[in-house]
Amino acid sequence: MTSTSRRIFAAGIAGLAILGPLLQPRSVSAQEPDLVTLRTPSGRDVTAYLSVPTTVPAPAVILLHGSYGLTEAFRSRATTYSDQGFVALGVDLFDGKTATTQDQARSLAGRANAFPEQPTETLVAWIDWLKADPRTTKKIAAIGWSFGAKWALIASSVASLDATVLYYGGTDFSGIDLNGLKAPVLGHFGERDTDPDPDTVKGLAARMAKEGKAIDVRWYDADHAFDTPMFPTFDKAAAEASRQETVKFLHANLD
């Protein structure tokens, strides 16, 4: 770990005591995430899991899953973020399919990446749905984990969202059109990750700076999927520190 990244990680851990109240419930969700469905312009029925805080209208966050799909474990993130005062929507980009093995996960992610028009249509449909819902303030952010990080950038670029958060990436980012990206980006990355590796992340940051886009990159002494409890690389300290920063960033840009 470099001296700079040590300072960043140490600051994140030390900040838990200071920022702790951010992750105390601001308004407890009225219910567990509910399954919601809509029909896209092309006629596909797509699903998501919605959790709404008791105090509305509120800003919204779209939660984008990794290559294992919208699993039961991932759905719980909707409650986590609605408890922080956001209308939280976990969007299914795999048409109801989930993976239980790495091979299945690669297959699902590969299909979505090979036919990007479908997940793009899904995201735009849900963004329009959130903007039309009276429970939201029309301010929307996208948060993506691993495979979902790429799609968080795409959603923010296509729909000009108000904030974007990336957890790791699982992609080289090079093929993503960032022309429509207007909002700031917060990225959480592990120094021991290889997908993407640190050089790839630095390349993304350099590209965004060249294109006049704002990105704040945070490094952690961690591996890939450090914020995913089902993975052996889960790192509780890094997960907590990054989540504190995410909540702080969202309120700064959406409230």
- Tokens standing for residue 38: 């809509």
Pairing of strands 45-51, 34-39: antiparallel
pTM: 0.87
Chain-centroid distance of CA 255 in Å reads 18
pLDDT in tens, 66-114: 999 999 999 999 999 999 999 999 999 999 999 999 999 999 999 999 9
Task: Report all structural domains of the chain as residue ranges with CATH numbers, in order of start.
Answer: 31-254 (3.40.50.1820)
pLDDT in tens, 193-204: 999 999 999 999
Tell me how far apart the alpha carbons of residues 136 and 86 are, in angstroms, rounded to a whole number: 8
pLDDT of residue 4: 32
Of the pLDDT bands very low, low, confident and very high (cuts 50, 70, 90), residue 25 is: very low
pLDDT of residue 209: 94
Q: Is the pLDDT reported for residue 14 higher than 80?
A: no
- Give yes or no for a contact between 188 and 221, defined as CB atoms under 8 angstroms apart: no
pLDDT of residue 172: 72
Q: What is the DSSP letter of 47?
A: E
- Give yes or no for a contact between 50 and 77, defined as CB atoms under 8 angstroms apart: no
Beta-bridge partners for 38: 46
pLDDT of residue 7: 32
- 229 or 18: which carries more pLDDT confidence? 229
pLDDT in tens, 176-193: 899 999 999 999 999 999
Query: Looking at residues 243-247, what average pLDDT do you find?
Result: 98
Q: Which residues contact 48 (CB under 8 A, 6 or more apart)?
A: 35, 36, 37, 70, 89, 90, 91, 92, 126
